[in-house]
């Protein structure tokens, strides 16, 4: 490859002219922010490559990431434009947990969110309907988050607690009523509850086969099971994977997926985080509202289903959390890590609080304004 072609590839500019596919257009009303793309001049790229005369030299990872961010601009750098697109709209916030609100850690039981992050989520939930959708069990993620003003969906959306609403015949069988600590009736939506006996059988088998694999850990997430291998020696991973596959193969109604250093066993039903997002919007009365903008922040492959739903709606903000390029993501925006998620959430809450204060002043003085619609 020539140096010039290599530069084009590094910048994400290499295209086949006649056969290239048309790029997906930005979601309606959302403009990509070129202010955050950084200095991608030929001189800066040549400088970053250091030895451009060596065509076999690998492209630096930071350069690859910066090139990717051009296509998936920072939600922080794009914040003003995003909020401009949200004018007169209602934002509903959806958040993943691990890798989004908390850092990825070796011990899944110690994936604690910081007090600052908890305060930020609490503040956001004061102004916007807010839900946490996690692969963890609903009880576990609620124990981590410790907030009463957000909705919780566990097991990748297969275990959702929501306020009561009239049930449609098609989903009545998946609902049960639960009494929360305040004494009010909430509704549990559990589309995979018929699989619980088999899930417990699988969990028992997995615990047996992983006992002899040092570092392996089985986590019961209620409607799915996780086998963590972050602490497993590299030479043992193949053996562990084969053992897990041998168990899952005995249960044709289940399938195996790969996450971040985790193997997940789930029922093979048509339900994922995207369906959970749609269900929550419907339950909260927003499903048929053309002025609603779902904002979803997540870092994992399972969050891509939610990103797809937002894209199919034609409006909203799918935001991926990643410090490395994710070329196949359906997200339109990016945040580098949980610390940037914290900054974004604080800014979102401040923006909403400021707009509310300005609206109040405008009403007092009888002045019209173009302030964002109240949620």
Per DSSP, the residues of 163-196 read: ---PPPTTTGGGEEEEE-TTS-EEEEE-TTGGGH
In this predicted structure, which of 219-223, 264-268, 288-292, 304-308 has the lowest mean pLDDT?
288-292
pLDDT of amino acid 173: 57
pLDDT in tens, 239-272: 999 999 999 999 999 999 998 899 999 999 999 9
- What is the C-alpha separation between 112 and 104, in angstroms, rounded? 9
Q: Given this model, what pLDDT does residue 290 score?
A: 83
- Cα separation values, 274 from 165, 206, 267, 333, 357, Å: 21, 28, 16, 17, 34
Write down the pTM of the prediction.
0.77
Spatial separation of the C-alpha atoms in residues 155 and 142, rounded to whole Å: 12
Secondary structure of the chain: what % helix, strand, coil (to 5)? 40, 20, 40
Determine the pLDDT at residue 222: 96
Q: Tell me if 79 sits within 8 A of 85, measured CB to CB.
A: no
What is the per-residue pLDDT for 359? 57
What was the pLDDT predicted at 288?
76
pLDDT score recorded for residue 203: 97
Residue 131 pLDDT > 70: yes
**What would the pLDDT profile of 222-247 be if each residue is shown by its tens digit?**
999 999 999 999 999 999 999 999 99
Confidence of residue 162 (pLDDT cuts 50, 70, 90): confident
Lowest mean pLDDT segment, chosen from 35-44, 177-186, 207-216: 35-44
Sheet holding 217-220, edge to edge: 217-220, 225-228, 262-267, 254-259
Q: Between 12 and 178, name the one with better pLDDT.
A: 178
Least confident of 19-23, 69-73, 244-248, 262-266: 19-23
Lowest mean pLDDT of 110-119, 135-144, 157-166, 352-361, name the range: 352-361
pLDDT for 112: 96
CB 106 within 8 A of CB 230: yes
Q: CA geometry: angle at 200 spanning 273 and 97, to 5°? A: 30
CA 270/CA 268 separation, integer angstroms: 7
Q: What pLDDT digit, counting tens, does each position of 41-64 carry? A: 323 323 333 443 444 545 557 899
Q: What is the pLDDT of residue 65?
A: 93
């Amino acid at each position: 490859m020539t140096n010039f072609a290599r530069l084009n590839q590094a910048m994400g500019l290499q295209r086949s002219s006649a056969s290239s596919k048309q790029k997906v257009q930005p979601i309606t009303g959302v403009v990509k922010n070129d202010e955050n793309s950084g200095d991608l001049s030929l001189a800066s790229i040549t400088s970053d490559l250091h030895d451009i005369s060596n065509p076999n030299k690998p492209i630096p990872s930071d350069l690859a990431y910066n090139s990717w961010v051009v296509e998936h601009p920072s939600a922080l750098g794009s914040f003003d434009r995003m909020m401009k697109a949200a004018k007169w709209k209602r934002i509903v916030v959806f958040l993943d947990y691990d890798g989004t609100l908390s850092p990825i850690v070796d011990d899944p039981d110690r994936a604690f969110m910081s007090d600052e992050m908890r305060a930020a989520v609490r503040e956001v939930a004061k102004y916007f309907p807010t839900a946490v959708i996690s692969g963890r069990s609903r009880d576990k993620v609620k124990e981590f988050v410790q907030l009463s003003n957000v909705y919780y969906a566990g097991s990748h959306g297969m275990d959702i607690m929501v306020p009561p609403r009239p049930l449609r015949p098609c989903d009545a069988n998946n609902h049960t009523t639960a009494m929360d600590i305040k004494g009010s009736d909430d509704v549990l939506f559990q589309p995979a509850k018929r699989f619980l006996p088999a899930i417990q059988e699988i969990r028992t088998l997995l615990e047996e086969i992983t006992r002899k694999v040092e570092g392996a850990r089985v986590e019961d997430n209620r409607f799915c099971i996780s086998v963590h291998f972050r602490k497993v020696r590299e030479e043992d991973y193949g053996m562990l994977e084969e053992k897990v596959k041998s168990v899952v193969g005995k249960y044709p109604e289940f399938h195996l997926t790969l996450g971040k250093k985790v193997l997940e066993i789930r029922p093979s039903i048509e339900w994922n985080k995207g369906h959970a997002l749609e269900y929550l919007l419907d339950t909260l009365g927003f499903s048929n509202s053309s002025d609603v903008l779902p904002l979803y922040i997540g870092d994992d492959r399972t969050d891509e289903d939610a990103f797809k739903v937002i894209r199919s709606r034609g409006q909203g903000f799918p935001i991926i959390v990643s410090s490395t390029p994710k070329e196949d993501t359906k997200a339109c925006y990016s945040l580098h890590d949980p610390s940037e998620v914290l900054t974004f959430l604080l800014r979102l809450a401040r923006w909403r609080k400021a707009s509310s204060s300005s609206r109040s002043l405008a009403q007092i003085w009888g002045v019209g304004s173009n302030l964002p619609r109240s949620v």
